[in-house]
Structure 1
């Protein structure tokens, strides 16, 4: 008798093992193995709950559920809790349990939900493998109110086989997902190098990352003082450029995720980007030793593969941004060289010819007995050629501001004096400015001084340069005739170009002017 029972158990385990080894798709595998288990044991009904956390479960497989539990697309099996799940979540379900009165069946009878077909009890077995729990297996038959120790031992063996198979499939799916993610990453990184502008690059990374990996939300924070700035987010299939500063209290979880190097649960919706509680993972983006931003994603959960991908995207992002900076500097050098070439050509050709024209007109005026009409014409030619030379010297200075290395304010003062202005200069703070910032401040200052020279009707001008650890601020003030800002707009006086220069470096330009009350131009550039 014992030999026959042992033979049946071995047959059961063999049948289950063959079923488990045939599939790499979890749900069909669980359904098939449950059907085989009931078939070889003679039990009538069974179902499998998988759980990813407390109060989170799904009914992944079922066989011959009573009508009361199968109604409304098995709604009673998908909602609520029961004794076996509570024990499982509380970690008190460590082995097969002999007969549990089923709360779902009791509720079905109490609320008269339908026929329970004589099923009142079931055995419950946890699905585990290598110390990891995945859910529970429930089996029973109408009228059966107890299982023998041998039956429970067999169910534990089957449950262990199922748990091992679940773990195997999860590992397989994780590796498959990992391979797919790296293929998407390869496609994403190929596109990154097509963008030369850092701002466009950031938007492209956020867009493609969210599009490629199907996370609920992907975004990027620019490192800034005093508050970090949310550059852009990708959510619900749409990229949105935000450019909004976030206070420190809203950044707590994202900074914690960066510091710990692992996902963090959002608490009480403190992070205002997502309407419901979620998990946030974030990676710091660094160019050499400079912390320039944070790439982050929101999702219900992050696998090891997801964490690897976010880190890889952040690393590629840092390299691409560094490359874009190198490209920008190279373009600046090319542009500077072209300006120098134009300045040399103008000086060696046009300026010399204008000088010759002026001298020729002056010499012709000194010829004896020159008619008055001709003498007046020669005087006009001499005066116009001298004015043209002055304008040419100004143009050459604009193309090649020789002496800017001596200091920004010194160069602006020299330029103002060259225009016939009387500048009053003041500098507060000291810090070596990056070349792009110094160049932009000089060009904006140049344009402002030109406008004063041409339109203000005064010669006095005040220049103030304030430099802090965070920004450089240049203010140009005159007490001239001023202008109507609404009437003039940004398309004259070079105002549009000045604003674009400031914007390209993440700065701002403000202009305040009224008729007969002068003009104040102020540019702020972050360092």
Structure 2
């Protein structure tokens, strides 16, 4: 009877995993089905990166003590399961002898722990790729049966394959986005960019061909406007297609600053071996920050500091230009600044500005790493 019930449960989970395209709803949905179809009463999932840093990404039906303060005790402290995963010693579904995170929640008396003192754990992986761990628990249970552990392994196998599928899908979407950006950048360069360049040359010729001062002034205005539009277009093409990023983040930022006629001084502390997503985000932030300097600061010298630590990336852009009134309670004064904040928040980071009239502006970015 239990065997048939488990087969039905695995089928339901497989159907959900095949339908979902977003990671967190998929994990929570699978956890929910697992708990409803078994005697397990609580479940949670950690993703663990290559550096061994764990992140609680999904949970279902946690008791009050474990939910306390946004799952404070599950997010902090050590645990046998995470340690064994980091050391590549967690190969299959296992009983946990003790869990420091659960013990900490119970000792601090932050709420009812629902009789949960121990949990079972299983690694989430697909082929040679390892993603994290799935933990489940039920009240007043110290050890879980072989049948329960076998079911966990089956569920973990399904989850591992689904996680890899979503990662691959996201990568394909990112590649498609880059290709579309490149196509649009080429189209802008081959059409609008060339037309603006032609207008610039034509207006310059008009200045030389006429003796009438009014016409000269008109052609000169057209030339200046078309040159400004051409500069904006080139900057837009750069933002669509970060040409030179393949040569490294620093070189790409320097090239962009040079295109804007800015004198950029870069100071780097630590080793720049950044994930692609972080690198592109920093490049986009640098572009926006340099654009703001060119348009609003009234100076052409910019200092940039990049510091990489074991846990964070600190990215600072500083100028001694005109500055602005920076009221943290007011809406950001430009779309570009809001764009910077949104990009950084997507990576779990923070963006802050320190500025004063006539004393320059300092942009401070911090991204967890």
Cα-to-partner distance string for 1:425-470 (whole Å, 9 max, x where unaligned): 0223335433222212211221222222223333222222234565
- Residue 262 (structure 1) aligned with residue 262 (structure 2): no
Structure 2 distance, partners of 1:277, 1:493, is 49
* Residues 412 and 445 in structure 1, CA contact (< 8 A), matched pair in contact too: yes
Structure 2 distance, partners of 1:182, 1:278, is 29
Bigger CA radius of gyration: 1
- Residue 417 (structure 1) aligned with residue 242 (structure 2): no
* Residues 463 and 474 in structure 1, CA contact (< 8 A), matched pair in contact too: yes
Partner of 1:127 in structure 2? Answer: none
SS of residue in 1 equivalent to 2:19: coil
In structure 2, runs of 5+ residues without a counterpart are 107-112
Q: Which one of the candidate residues 243, 246, 262 is aligned to 2:75?
A: 246
For residue 491 of structure 1, report the CA deviation from its aligned partner.
8.0
Partner of 1:231 in structure 2? Answer: 57
* Residues 478 and 519 in structure 1, CA contact (< 8 A), matched pair in contact too: yes
Larger RCO, structure (CA 8 Å, separation 6 or more): 2
SS of residue in 2 equivalent to 1:412: helix
- Residue 383 (structure 1) aligned with residue 224 (structure 2): yes
Partner of 1:170 in structure 2? Answer: none
* Residues 513 and 519 in structure 1, CA contact (< 8 A), matched pair in contact too: yes
Partner of 1:220 in structure 2? Answer: 45
SS of residue in 1 equivalent to 2:103: coil
SS of residue in 1 equivalent to 2:94: coil
Cα-to-partner distance string for 1:4-50 (whole Å, 9 max, x where unaligned): xxxxxxxxxxxxxxxxxxxxxxxxxxxxxxxxxxxxxxxxxxxxxxx
Distance 1:372 1:455, change over 3 A: same
Cα-to-partner distance string for 1:269-309 (whole Å, 9 max, x where unaligned): 51528343443101122354454321100114433332122
RMSD: 3.2
In structure 1, runs of 5+ residues without a counterpart are 1-175
Structure 2 distance, partners of 1:500, 1:181, is 44
* Residues 120 and 137 in structure 2, CA contact (< 8 A), matched pair in contact too: yes
Structure 2 distance, partners of 1:253, 1:295, is 10
SS of residue in 1 equivalent to 2:265: strand
Partner of 1:351 in structure 2? Answer: 193
For residue 421 of structure 1, report the CA deviation from its aligned partner.
1.9
Q: Give the alignment's TM-score, normalised by structure 1.
A: 0.59
Q: Give the alignment's TM-score, normalised by structure 2.
A: 0.82
Cα-to-partner distance string for 1:369-424 (whole Å, 9 max, x where unaligned): 3x322221111011101111111111111111111111101111111222222211
Between the two proteins, the alignment pairs up a number of residues equal to: 348
Partner of 2:109 in structure 1? Answer: none
